[in-house]
């Protein structure tokens, strides 16, 4: 529809409930790429006139507009790798009923075309200055947005991928880069302006915030209870960056929630109280969340206290950069090899375009069993319309072989992810998992967490068990919408259980793989008011700081290092721990480095526990922090006697402070270690 039609449509009353999937707005078909960027820009300038010269902020009537200004809402935002979603519900101290909606987000789908969708694609497009006509990117709340995000970015980027920013969320947890430096798109030429992963995250949140204010001006988002979700495996720095991105758009009140927990909250809320009929005391629920960028694994135990069922998150997997993006890339390389066998070679930018085409083809093949192949067209730089394209196809057999057999192979529970010897030099990019076999990662996780429920009397694992036996499975993430992939996962897991004479795990029904995380986040805001069912968990790992020995210098030998536990596994939000009896020397006024470690298996360690030896299986090192602490009333280079104080903030981030033993001096060791000038 045109922008004028969209503004007119916004004046119509909206239903209170979310339409079913059958009624949800459909995504527009993306035209097959036939022209180069120069041809596209030229055609647009010749044929497209500005839709409107300027758009003043509009106010659209909605049921929320007429509510009292003191009315509050619980809002959940799924800031996803491939999609963002916002869900919300009224929260009233006198009402235990929880009814939520998913907000349809206005966004450009093409120049001058605006549509509402329940998902905002997590893509940002850096258009060529001649590519878009003046006024064709206007949104209802601004005549000229700073960034093109959402469906239009994905559509334009499918033709010109060198200008497309994607997977920004995955970059936030990349310890090897400065997440506030302009590095995306990574392979863009010099004439394409780059942005930082942090900037892209801010841009998605800004669009969502502006869309909310446009629709509901009497209920500012900055005044609502807001929960933003993150992968359970996000490290402290990535969590800190997510919170900072929210603050950059004025959402200072945002708190964090792990995505697998959000999926469970959504399952509880959608069951309308019947979740207790699906879960029994002693159950171990395995949450498998395979999204666009990551595979997130969590275990939640069902116990009881005073006759009431309780849920406790007992384990979280490692940060596995493996998901739908990898699958699309694998298909693209498969098609690339086929083209090269025919004597057609692809340039790197063409491989990116092919990857986007494979994603759309894969979804069509999974969703329609009657389709055996999908044609693919890859644009070339030639001016000839016919000679300037490469044509091939993606077949159902290729999808089955590459994705089902390649990513979900039938393996034994004793198999482990394969590590290969890495070359000394590599191109810039994300540190994807070296082994694409998700089932091998799952086997390693369940074996590593074999004893995770030992301290729970209601959960009994057989003595002969070699891995923790899940009794139920909850799926989350867009990848698992493909029935073939979901079926294979359950088959492999149940083959492991059957081999150890354990009952097969049952699949929990009612999960909404696209919207569950946002809905669960909104429900969590309701739970925080003392209503509903709360999952107990706290921190997903134990955290440690490296303490260097004061031993004399020995040639060829580095000083010994101890790992000091500053936050134990399960430490709750809003709590802090001090170590007043352990004195350390803090170097101030000159650059120093701090080393941090994490463990998702050492549950017995308490605050103050010191480790002088550990294996890589027990502790993994996080990104190193280099910082110059302020001098305040001391001399540069002075070593100040301090004790440590660690806290898990209400927001859900880890904070470490060094407190002077002599005066009121206090130094915060920041975890937003990948920060630059922005």
The pLDDT tens digits of the residues spanning 364-409 come to 888 888 999 999 988 776 544 444 678 899 999 999 999 999 999 9
Q: Are 221 and 207 in contact (CB under 8 A)?
A: no
* Domain presence at residue 331: no
* Domain presence at residue 85: yes
* Domain presence at residue 349: no
Do 251 and 270 belong together in one domain? no
pLDDT at residue number 161 = 86
Do 511 and 606 belong together in one domain? no
Q: How confident is the model at residue 251 (pLDDT cuts 50, 70, 90)?
A: very high
Give the tens place of pLDDT for each residue, 291-307.
Answer: 988 999 999 999 998 87
pLDDT value at 33 more than 90:
no
Compute the average pLDDT of residues 611-618: 90
Do 134 and 176 belong together in one domain? yes
Do 117 and 233 belong together in one domain? yes
Among 668, 674, 654, which Cα is nearest to 597's? 654
Give the tens place of pLDDT for each residue, 131-189.
Answer: 999 999 999 999 999 999 999 999 999 888 889 999 999 998 887 788 999 999 988 88
Compute the average pLDDT of residues 627-638: 86
> What DSSP state is assigned to residue 540?
S
pLDDT value at 483 more than 50:
yes
pLDDT value at 558 more than 70:
no
* Domain presence at residue 26: no
pLDDT at residue number 644 = 92
Q: In angstroms, rounded to a whole number, what is the distance separating the alpha carbons of residues 331 and 357?
A: 10
Lowest mean pLDDT among 383-387, 471-475, 663-667: 383-387
Domain boundary among 536, 563, 593: 536
* Buried residues in 128-148 as b, exposed as e (16+ CB within 10 A): beebbbebbbbbbbbeebebb
Q: Which residue has the higher pLDDT, 204 or 304?
A: 204
Domain boundary among 256, 282, 306: 256
pLDDT value at 36 more than 60:
no
State the Rg of the chain over Cα. Answer: 26
Q: Give me the residue label for tokens 């009224």.
A: 90
pLDDT at residue number 671 = 60
Q: Are 302 and 280 in contact (CB under 8 A)?
A: yes
pLDDT at residue number 14 = 43
Q: Are 579 and 602 in contact (CB under 8 A)?
A: no
Q: How many domains does the chain have?
A: 3
pLDDT value at 607 more than 60:
yes
pLDDT value at 51 more than 70:
no
Q: Which residue has the higher pLDDT, 262 or 5?
A: 262
Among 353, 383, 348, which Cα is nearest to 159's? 353
Q: Residue 5: enclosing H or E segment and its boundaries?
A: helix 3-9
Do 645 and 665 belong together in one domain? yes
Q: Which residue has the higher pLDDT, 94 or 524?
A: 524
Q: Which domain holds residue 82?
A: 3-11+39-256
Burial (0-12, 13-18, 19+ Cβ within 10 Å), 229: buried
pLDDT value at 15 more than 70:
no
Compute the average pLDDT of residues 475-503: 95
Distances (CA, A) of 320 to 165, 174, 291, 514, 519: 21, 11, 11, 20, 24
- Give me the CATH number covering residue 490: 3.30.420.40
pLDDT exceeding 70 applies to what percent of the chain? 84
Do 512 and 559 belong together in one domain? no
Q: In angstroms, rounded to a whole number, what is the distance separating the alpha carbons of residues 297 and 255?
A: 21
* Domain presence at residue 394: no
pLDDT at residue number 52 = 30
Contacts of 617 (CB under 8 A, 6+ apart): 448, 601
Compute the average pLDDT of residues 545-559: 70
Do 489 and 604 belong together in one domain? no
Do 247 and 288 belong together in one domain? no
pLDDT at residue number 94 = 62
* Domain presence at residue 24: no
Domain boundary among 481, 514, 536: 536
Lowest mean pLDDT among 217-221, 374-378, 554-558: 554-558
* Domain presence at residue 562: yes
Give the tens place of pLDDT for each residue, 579-606.
Answer: 888 888 888 898 888 889 999 889 889 9
pLDDT exceeding 90 applies to what percent of the chain? 53
pLDDT at residue number 676 = 38
pLDDT at residue number 53 = 31
Q: Are 106 and 14 in contact (CB under 8 A)?
A: no
pLDDT at residue number 69 = 56
* Domain presence at residue 359: no
pLDDT at residue number 344 = 83
Do 312 and 229 belong together in one domain? no
Give the chain's mean pLDDT. 84
Q: In angstroms, rounded to a whole number, what is the distance separating the alpha carbons of residues 71 and 77?
A: 19
Q: Residue 397: enclosing H or E segment and its boundaries?
A: helix 396-399
Do 473 and 614 belong together in one domain? no
Cis peptide bond upstream of 185, omega within 30: yes
Q: How confident is the model at residue 283 (pLDDT cuts 50, 70, 90)?
A: very high
Do 480 and 612 belong together in one domain? no
Lowest mean pLDDT among 23-27, 202-206, 563-567, 648-652: 23-27
Do 99 and 230 belong together in one domain? yes
| Whole-prediction pTM | 0.81
């Amino acid at each position: 529809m045109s922008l004028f039609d969209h503004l007119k449509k916004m004046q119509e009353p909206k239903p209170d409930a979310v339409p079913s999937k059958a009624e949800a707005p459909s995504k527009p078909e993306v035209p097959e790429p036939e022209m180069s960027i120069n041809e596209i820009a030229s055609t647009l300038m010749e044929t497209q006139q500005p839709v409107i010269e300027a758009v003043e902020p509009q106010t659209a009537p909605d049921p929320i507009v007429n509510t009292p200004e003191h009315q509050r809402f619980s809002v959940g935002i799924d800031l996803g790798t491939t999609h963002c979603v916002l869900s919300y519900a009224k929260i009233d101290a006198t009402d235990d009923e929880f009814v939520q909606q998913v907000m349809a987000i206005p966004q450009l789908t093409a120049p001058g075309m605006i549509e509402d969708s329940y998902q905002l694609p997590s893509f940002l497009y850096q258009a060529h200055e001649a590519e878009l006509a003046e006024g064709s990117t206007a949104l209802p709340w601004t005549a000229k947005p700073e960034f093109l995000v959402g469906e239009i970015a994905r559509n334009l980027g499918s033709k010109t991928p060198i200008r497309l920013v994607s997977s920004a969320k995955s970059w936030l947890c990349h310890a090897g880069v400065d997440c506030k430096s302009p590095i995306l798109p990574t392979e863009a030429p010099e004439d394409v302006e780059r942005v930082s992963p942090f900037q892209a995250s801010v841009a998605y949140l800004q669009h969502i915030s502006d869309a909310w204010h446009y629709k509901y001006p009497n209920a500012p988002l900055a005044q609502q209870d807001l929960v933003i979700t993150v992968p359970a495996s996000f490290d402290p720095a990535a969590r800190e960056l997510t919170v900072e991105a929210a603050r950059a758009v004025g959402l200072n009140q945002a708190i964090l929630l792990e995505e697998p927990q959000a999926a469970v909250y959504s399952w509880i809320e959608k069951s309308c109280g019947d979740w207790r009929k699906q879960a029994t005391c002693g159950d171990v629920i395995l949450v498998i969340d395979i999204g666009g960028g990551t595979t997130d694994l969590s275990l939640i135990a069902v116990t009881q206290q005073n006759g009431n069922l309780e849920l406790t998150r007992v384990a979280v997997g490692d940060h596995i950069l493996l998901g739908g993006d990898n699958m699309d890339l694998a298909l693209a390389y498969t098609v690339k090899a086929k083209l090269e066998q025919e004597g057609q070679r692809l340039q790197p930018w063409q491989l990116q375009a092919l990857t986007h085409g494979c994603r759309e083809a894969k979804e069509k093949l999974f969703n329609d069993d009657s389709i055996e192949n999908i044609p693919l067209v890859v644009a070339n730089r030639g001016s000839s319309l016919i000679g300037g394209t490469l044509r091939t196809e993606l077949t159902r057999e290729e999808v089955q072989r590459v994705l089902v057999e390649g990513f979900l192979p039938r393996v034994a529970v004793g198999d482990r992810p394969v590590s290969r010897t890495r070359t000394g030099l590599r191109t810039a990019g994300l540190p994807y998992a070296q082994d694409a076999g998700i089932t091998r990662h799952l086997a390693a996780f369940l074996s590593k967490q074999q004893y995770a429920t030992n301290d729970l009397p209601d959960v009994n694992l057989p003595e002969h068990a070699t891995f923790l036996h899940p009794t139920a499975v909850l799926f989350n993430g867009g990848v698992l919408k493909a029935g073939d992939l979901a079926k294979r996962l359950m088959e492999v897991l149940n083959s492991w259980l059957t081999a150890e004479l354990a009952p097969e795990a049952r699949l929990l029904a009612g999960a909404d793989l696209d919207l569950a995380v946002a809905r669960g986040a909104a429900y969590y805001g309701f739970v925080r008011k003392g209503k509903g069912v709360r999952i107990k968990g706290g921190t997903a790992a134990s955290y440690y700081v490296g303490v260097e020995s004061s031993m004399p210098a020995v040639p060829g030998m580095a000083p010994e290092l101890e790992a000091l536990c500053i936050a134990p596994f399960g430490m709750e939000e809003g709590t802090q721990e001090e170590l007043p009896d352990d004195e350390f020397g803090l170097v101030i006024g000159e650059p120093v480095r701090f080393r941090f470690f994490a463990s998702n298996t050492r549950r017995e360690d308490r605050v103050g526990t010191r480790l002088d030896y550990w294996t890589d299986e027990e502790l993994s090192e996080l990104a190193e922090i280099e910082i110059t602490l302020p001098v305040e009333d001391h001399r540069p280079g002075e070593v100040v006697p301090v004790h440590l104080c660690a806290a898990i903030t209400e927001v859900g981030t880890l904070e470490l402070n060094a407190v002077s033993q002599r005066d009121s001096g206090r130094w915060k060791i920041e975890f937003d270690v990948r920060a630059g000038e922005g």
